[in-house]
A and B are shown apart, each in its own frame.
Chain A
Amino acid sequence: MLIRTRVNGAWRAADVWPGASLLYALREHFGLLGAKNACEQGECGSCSVWLDDELVCACLVLAAQAHERDVRTVESLASARQLHPVQEAFLQAGAVQCGFCTPGLIVAVTDLLQKDPVPTDATVREALAGNLCRCTGYAKILDAVRLAAERLRGASA
């Protein structure tokens, strides 16, 4: 079936199988490999994207449900010259090891800091409860969130 979706600001069309997930459409039809395909059951958060500005697991959205709607992926965050402050913070804090969970975490952290620029550690833990990382033990990820929050506050001050 033909779907038309605004992906990272540009309207794109694709002929998808009606049972295909948004994740499949993003990766296989639109060539956006940032959202990762892992658990396919909403458990790991590595496919986190925004659907109409809401954080979702792309594996749990039918591609057809994104028809005529707005999708933003991790690829929307960096400009050609500069990484997003959350991405910079992940690099500087050493919050990336194998890197597989990183795009989903970057999206989830960006979503959190848009809503709550000064989150407590408990809020961060709750906000990232749906993003699994099997390498870092999360300590460095929490460091990265604190660093990103500081930078974003500094940038907006």
Chain B
Amino acid sequence: MVRAAREIEHRRVLPGGEKGCAMHMLLPRTLPEALELKAARPEAVPIAGGTDLMVDLNFGRRRPSLMMDVSRLAELRRWRRDDGTVALGSGVTYTQIVAGLSDCRPLVEASRTVGSPQIRNRGTVGGNLGTASPAGDALPVLAAYDAEVTLVAAGGRRRTMPWHQFMTGPKKTAIRQEELILETGWRFVRGTGSFSKVGTRNAMVIAVASLCLILDEDRRAIRVALGSVGPTVLRAPDAERFASEVLARVGLWDDSATALPPKVLNDFGERVAAAAVPIDDVRGTAAYRRHACAVMARRALAWALHDRTRGTGQPRSGSC
């Protein structure tokens, strides 16, 4: 296999030279070819939409000796749904999500906040995962879905792990050098949800704080995930338990017209904010971020409950 990979490499590696910096590029056309190359040359840095890596290259912050273009691997640019699950290929772009996954509302809402049309046409879910910035817009949604991440190596060897085992720290993941990110998948959730993001504009913004809330009608549970307010994406388990239990106690899961006791939204917001471990940085202070979490949480829960009362009073179906 290594020998085969070297032969492929020989065909595909093209030498650098300009600017006095040795850099090489691999251009595999299929996923098996890419994985063989990665096994033979594990140091190869994958580049998909380039929205992170190209900035580092343009500004001279990174000079990887070897890169591998994964943007032409058709195998990664697909998604599928079967048996109550969704599997999203790592090369799926945010434009594809907005156009094709309209029933995954929180994911579509998050995708629409990514950069601009130009960025959404290039940026991929796999890129968000691989970069593992706590500000990655898709990541709170994947966390709220309890998504898993599947990695793949030569010979089709796969490893699947929950999102929180994959993202181990700020810009740190559990990926091994010989692996590529294949896809991320989750169980289809019946119930409404939303994505919120705080920033200075409606576009081209790196989140100051972000939040995804999902109502899981089947498990009668509320799930909340936070972005940009900790070293990785965070869940708010205490707030989730609190809200799920209050909804059960007042009978809201069965009758969406039931009124929520007045203090609950505020309490929920405070509990979500307490799960954040933000820092002061150029985009905002820790105190502001905590406050933003409370506001977003309060609003997201109110929106979700409002969604359930619309129309027939039945929860919107088909949300994943």
B-contacting residues of A (Cβ < 8 Å)? 1-2, 16-21, 40-43, 45, 48, 54-57, 59-62, 64-65, 67, 108, 111, 126-127, 129-131
Contacts and interface: CB of A to CB of B under 8 A. Distances in A.
A19 B59 contact: no
Interface in B205-247: none
A35 to B, nearest CB: 12
B50 interface: yes
A126 B16 contact: no
Contacts of A55: 117-118, 121
B200 interface: no
Interface residues of B, number: 37
B14 interface: yes
Given A18-B25, A19-B23, A65-B69, A130 B58 contact: no
A60 B19 CA distance: 19
A129 to B, nearest CB: 3
A19 B63 contact: yes
Contact of B116 (A59, A61, A130): A130
Interface of B: 14-19, 21, 23-25, 27, 47, 49-51, 54-55, 57-59, 63, 67, 69, 71-72, 95, 115-119, 121-122, 201-204
B56 to A, nearest CB: 10
A127 B72 CA distance: 25
A19 B23 CA distance: 7
A16 B21 CA distance: 12
A71 B107 CA distance: 30
Contact of B19 (A1, A19, A41, A64): A19
A130 B204 CA distance: 7
Given A17-B17, A62-B47, A57 B25 contact: no
A108 B57 CA distance: 25
Contacts of A111: 117
Nearest to A69: B72
Contact of B49 (A48, A60, A108, A127): A60
A65 B116 CA distance: 20
B203 to A, nearest CB: 3
B213 to A, nearest CB: 24
Contact of B23 (A17, A21, A54): A17
A145 B55 CA distance: 30
A42 B204 CA distance: 9
A18 B53 CA distance: 13
